[in-house]
Structure 1
Amino acid sequence: MRQHSVPRLAWSIADELLRGITTVVLMPEHGDASEVEYALELAVEQTDRYSDVRRLVLSAGEGAAEGGGSVFSPLRFLLQAFDVTWKDGTGPLTWDNLLAAAELPEVIVAADFTGLNEEQRRQWLQCIAEGSAAAARRREQHPAFCVVAQASDPVLQGLRTSSNLKIRYWCNLHTLTALAAEHQLSFLGKRLGEVHWKAALVTSLAGSDRSLVEPLGEAVVRSKEAVVTCLQNAATERGFTLQTLQGEGVHLLLSGSSFQPLDRLNHGHPIVHLWARGFLNYSAEYGWEVPSWVLAALGEVNLLEHRIWRAQLPIVLPIINQFRLMVIRHLMQFYGVEWLLAAAQEHRRLVPAGANDPKPLLCPFDAELSDLRYILEGEASRSHQASQYLSVLRLAHFLRNQLAHYTAIEPAEYFKLLEGVQALGLAD
């Protein structure tokens, strides 16, 4: 599945490539290199200027051996790939001679680098680095190569960066806010509130891991237990268990947030190591976090529930507050402002001093859910409409208290609230 939008990082890398900067893009283990390559190609092709961009599928190269021998030559492979005729008398096949004799594409996206064996990857990386150095010596801007590699690849050790060869980390691609908005356009639901619920919870739990979007989209509308099971299954499918994860050092970053960028950390830093292994995600909202599927495999249910809870707050609390205001308007319309204020004050006199310390009652709209519940319980026997409001308000009051005490609610409770307020004409 292709990415729905090009990350901002891809545009930044595309700009550098078009300025002649060869870029090695590092991604975590188990990532999809083709997805990264596709996003980068798309970004380069959609820039404002025309550019000659070629996709080159790397190979160990049959027929690309030096002088017809058995030793593979990446440079000879480039000759064949770009249909360059190497004439007698041109001199030995070196980068300097190649750049002098042939016009190569401006940008070469070197595809399938991760699919080669270690020695092949080492040869290609050395060739690309030498090409970058030759272009700098000749003061030529192109070609610029783009290579996507796994951050933990041993062939990267010793790679030296320069003014025209950079390393970029494929992380911090989207804000969670942007991902949630994207999911709202793709999810289906019986009502808008269901779509918002699914988008918010899936974003909080999956982050930018698109492989989890579909299974989580089904789980988040069933139950919290279904979410945990879904994520545990994802860990199993990726070949990880509690035992295999315990030795990875994930526990170092289970709690607490860090916003340190990878390019400011040394190679041996735990954040760099865990990200390269695929055990850390980054978002602008929360910084570095252990992926939800890792938490599920480790049995960290409380941390998982916290991620469910934080996603529920901006979805549920506005509905509860709008319902609170609706009840206040109803009581003001039928009983008047003075009556409502007096009834709410009466309730507060019954509450022990210091209990929760509610907001001062300066106007009717300061009435809390507990005030309204007290009033409606007194009016329910005399008004059918009051009894209708009361049944929904009791649920709203309960859910608000759950969320206020950092406890995630169940999907069924949210949908019951939606049905209740919809029946009273408030929600979609």
Structure 2
Amino acid sequence: MPYEQLDLSTPKPVLSWANHTLGQDETKMAKNVASLPFVFKHVALMPDVHLGKGALVGSVVATKAAIVPAAVGVDIGCGMAAIKTPFMADQLEGKLQQIRQDIEALIPVGFHENEAADTQVLHWQGWQDFKHLHTGVQHLEAKATKQMGSLGGGNHFIEVCVDEQDQVWLMLHSGSRHIGNVLAQRHIETAKELAKLAGEKLPDPDLAHFVQGTPEFEAYWRDLQWAQNYARVNREVMMARSKRVLAKHLANGQPFTPCLSVNCHHNYAEREVHFGEEVYVTRKGAVRAQQDDYGIIPGSMGAKSYIVKGKGKADSYCSCSHGAGRLMSRNKAKLNFTLEDLIQQTQGVECRKDEGVLDEIPGAYKPIDQVMANQSDLVEVVATLKQLVCVKG
């Protein structure tokens, strides 16, 4: 689907791949961002766009010489990892429940953390730089160490899936855990204080920003990169543990080599070159989709997910959606659906079926097929996955 330019009177245009009219609050949020003086060229909205904080989830914002920490968000580096295994679906027969239980035994979920860090965690080079992070997180090193290799809650998950050829995949979704959240909050607070001192009149306090070349900018950028790396390694640790579970059940405990591995952020910022200029690209709920980039676009529990390759569409800042996108808030989902609805909508999936995950019911999300149709110019589908096991916090 080609994008449409929204009919908004803003200094910079807003291009949308959503193929639907934004609500009043969403429109206001898009206008606020597109009115910032340092926004470059235009704002791009992905097909799964919905309300966020400061900036819309599912938005790509390129900026010149400035960055908005709240636009990146508090789960810095949140993203996806997936591997294609050499195993086939028939090898899973009769083993799904035990596989789920073994993954849950190895990987803490929700607010839980590891009792002790394993070798893979302790050998991460990033720990050497912890002392240089914001002073407000220095007391959290032990917690950050124990949380690496843990899933968290909300919409984070670990799944065993099969593709159209019945080949087995592992896929998971998680970010930078508590340490990333606190780092983000500390810097957001600083940005707001600076805006207040400068008497800036922002359309939204959450759009307070840092200017390139200032100590505050450099401190945020350093901590941002550290948290993004933490999130990536966190996914690697969980994937390694999930691989061990599959190897135990499908390969007599023998290690295996994945046929394909993907690990991508969808809440982050990087320096990139677009339209011939170096800019800061903030993807808030969006995946980089440069030419031949592999990406992951998950559906909800019980819906299809996609492994994709980017087409390098310039107008999207070489980006695509990060999932189906929420159709309704968590509270609204709990009011609109019952436990029976959850059981029915997750038929055939070995997963939790209790009221604790009712807000993650498939019906609370946009139809993934429509989301994919709306971005056919942004990505090509490499594999279509259907989950058989889903572990949630």
Q: TM-score, normalised by structure 1?
A: 0.21
The structure carrying a bigger helix percent of its residues is 1
Larger Rg: 1
Structure holding more strand per residue:
2
Answer 1 or 2: higher relative contact order, Cα 8 Å, separation at least 6.
2
TM-score (norm 2): 0.22
